[in-house]
Structure 1
Amino acid sequence: MLQNEIVDILLRAGIPANTKGFTYIHDALELMDKDSYYFSGKVCVLYAKIAKQNGATPGQVERAIRYAFEGALTRGDLESVEQYLDPINTRNSNELKVLFLRWRQETHPMGDSSCDAMSVCRAQIYNEILDEMNALTFKIQQAVSNNGAENIAMQGQ
């Protein structure tokens, strides 16, 4: 079911079906749907995972995806392409995210899945940053405290 949805959306977006990029974009959308880690900007890791699955290099995957997007943007039906892709910011990472989000909006109205995934990602990133800041604050407080104790000890001598 999921594979048919992805194939359908890629064809409607104007991605040429006769390119390796079609298969790689299909794999990318499937991975992004299964694990929000890939959606949160880890495109290089996504390329590596797809390359490993298909016996290619990450560079070949990136190039094939770029070529497929270029094919859709230059030779596809403009109205259909603009419905699923961003004709202005054509970087692979942006196009993959836009395509993923528009597919999820179409298949799950109100963005249930993608919004939840994005909220989870943002919350996770926020919590990681907060933890790091708390750890740094603690270290600074310890250093100030230790330095203050040393100064008091030196004054007493």
Structure 2
Amino acid sequence: MSDISITYAGIFHVKDDLWRFINTMEDHQKVLVFTINGENNIKSIFRIETSGIQKLLMQIGIPANLLGFSYIVTALELIALNPEYLNNITKGLYADVSEKCSSTPVRVERNIRHAIEIGFLKGNLEMIKKIFTSSNYSDKGAPTNSNFLAAIYYYMVNNEL
């Protein structure tokens, strides 16, 4: 049995304040992130666990030594904080990932695409088919960056990873 403790509970008014807090945490620590609508009803809850994201990407077959691997992890952390990024990948998500990783949006997009292609060429086909349903995966090749990130995000949410 493991001990569970709350290390911090608070309200973050600015997304960047929450991101800075998450970056101070160790990989094994978990953060519950939730949004509340105008009537104070919880709209969504998502547990962020960086090591879980990394493990899933490695199970797919994306090598951890690729720069795109760390960009995908950062992108999925941002998407978990704000799923609206899935509707604004090029100008929103890539820009924010590049800012956090000291890169450029073009490099982020290219490195993510390269990591996805390597994962689909040399990866675990069984795991790929498990995550990527027929609607976003075909035997013709790797999905687009946005399809990949959306599929991974929803897989993690639905399987509580």
Task: Give the counterpart of 1:93 among 146, 149, 160.
Answer: 146
Q: Which amino acid aligns with 1:68?
A: A
Q: Which amino acid aligns with 2:99?
A: K
Structure 2: 5+ residue stretches without partners? 1-29, 31-48
6 and 26 in structure 1: CA distance in 2 versus 1, 3 angstrom threshold = same
Displacement of 1:28 in angstroms is 0.7
Residue 70 of structure 1: aligned partner:
117
More strand by share: 2
Q: Which amino acid aligns with 1:74?
A: L
Moved segments of 4+, more than 4 Å: none
Residue 130 of structure 1: aligned partner:
none
Relative contact order: is structure 1 or structure 2 higher (C-alpha 8 Å, sep ≥ 6)?
1
Structure 2-normalised TM-score? 0.62
Identity in percent: 33
Displacement of 1:87 in angstroms is 3.2
Q: Which amino acid aligns with 2:75?
A: A
Residue 14 of structure 1: aligned partner:
61
Displacement of 1:7 in angstroms is 1.2
Give the greater-gyration-radius structure (CA). Answer: 1
More helix by share: 1
Correspondences of 1:1-157 after superposition (within 5 Å) = 1=30, 2-39=49-86, 41-44=87-90, 45-85=92-132, 86-88=136-138, 90-107=143-160
Structure 1-normalised TM-score? 0.64
CA RMSD of aligned residues (A): 1.5
16 and 87 in structure 1: CA distance in 2 versus 1, 3 angstrom threshold = farther
Structure 1: 5+ residue stretches without partners? 109-157
